[in-house]
Structure 1
């Protein structure tokens, strides 16, 4: 005879599949489920955790447990597209919140990456990107200010960075990316609406211009619960 927590897990899974609990819905609380199934809260918690681990539910701070949306495919192919263009091609709606845009001295790491001196200035642009009104990725971008001095006047809520480079006659023609996984710190968790220590995809991206020099260095933190990545390689 199956353990009770497995029966509860199967019942909740069926309700997710048949639409009783729809994407974005909060399921009943542990107390409500414990009363409904006439079991203890630890038994309910065990059932819920299996569905969380399998990607069907997610626990949200101060809100409860929510039915997950389907994971979003992020494609890294030979075709260079902006975040907005790629998501729009998939029929998804994007929006941007600019956290900050500042002109500051280049750090040693940033200067080395961009091939500029420590005395040079960079534009540091931090954006929170949304998909279908849900926070998806935090992007911190460094751009050599001496090469693009009017970037401080661009409204990146509505403008695309790659379009800006193209309009300046120096489009991004090649991108190199490095992928790691990290745990979300408190600030990252708060911005992405996840739990502290939840897994995050951590990318370093290097955008090369016409002269094969890096004109854009970005650090991106993608939510680990709603994204997956496809790498399309050719021989």
Structure 2
């Protein structure tokens, strides 16, 4: 592991420092939640300028390896969980099992609600009532994502009797109710979390979260689900595979 900066090679000094800090994080020399050396300490240790140090640190913050706290310093960030959630239609539990991560679910609310203007806009006026399911998903015992799901009551009888703390919604709909789930449309945006959601997610109010809305369709193109997921921005990122098409 290189711990010195070589000023005689054509590699930029900020990049060398950035790689040194990356190596120290990966090796465990700098651990999650630990305060890294101050800007002044890095300047003195590596005999480089403050702008060089700032550029290296700012890039690591942008990459999610470091996080800054105003008035306190710069800390090693928690590793983010990378998901293919936007590309693959799979259950949360299946993806966590595939990654070998410990996870759990807490059901916050199971109820039947009347159609409102938002649901009518999404589903049309065909349905008068909907199941509403609010679940808080944990990874490694920490809040990870808060999901609110709406399904027309006619989709599945007695759905609220199911144990969704231990069972997958999609697997239940397929195995017990015979639905053939086909595909989904998803939209992602960054928003500031509401005060209520912040309490569930364990973050400060106005903290940035990744908001993902999902419209789930059956194989016959029937819309059966509308979900709103609020992912903590400090613990997750998403990967999308994009295909190139020439004209």
Structure 1 length as normaliser, TM-score?
Answer: 0.74
Return closer, same or farther for 1:162/1:66 CA change in 2, 3 Å cut-off: farther
Aligned residue number for residue 147 of structure 2: 139
CA–CA separation in structure 2 for the residues paired with 1:81 and 1:53? 29
**1:143-158 equivalent positions in 2, closer than 5 A:** 143-158=151-166
Q: How do 1:172-191 residues align onto structure 2 when only pairs under 5 Å count?
A: 172-191=181-200
Instruction: Describe the superposition over 1:83-114 as per-residue Cα deviations: whole angstroms up to 9, x where unpaired.
Output: 11012111112210111111110212113323
Aligned residues: 213
Deviation at 1:26, TM superposition (A): 5.3
Matched, 1:214 2:223: yes
> What CA deviation, in whole Å up to 9, does each residue of 1:163-200 have, x standing for no partner?
11103111321111111111122222222122222221
Instruction: Report 1 or 2 for greater relative contact order, CA contacts < 8 Å, sequence distance ≥ 6.
Output: 1
Q: How does 1:1-235 map to 2 (within 5 A)?
A: 16-22=25-31, 24-25=32-33, 27=35, 55-58=64-67, 67-76=76-85, 79-117=88-126, 120-166=128-174, 167-234=176-243
Alpha-carbon distance between aligned partners in 1 of 2:152 and 2:35, rounded to the nearest angstrom? 48
Q: 3-state SS of the aligned residue for 1:164?
A: helix
Contact 2:212–2:228 under 8 Å retained in 1: yes
The Cα of 1:56 is off from its aligned counterpart by 3.2
**Cα displacement (A) at 1:12:** 8.2
**Unmatched runs of 5 consecutive residues or more in structure 2:** 1-13, 42-53
How far apart, CA to CA, are the structure 1 residues paired with 2:183 and 2:22?
43
TM-score, scaled relative to structure 2: 0.71
Tell me by how many angstroms 1:57 deviates. 4.3
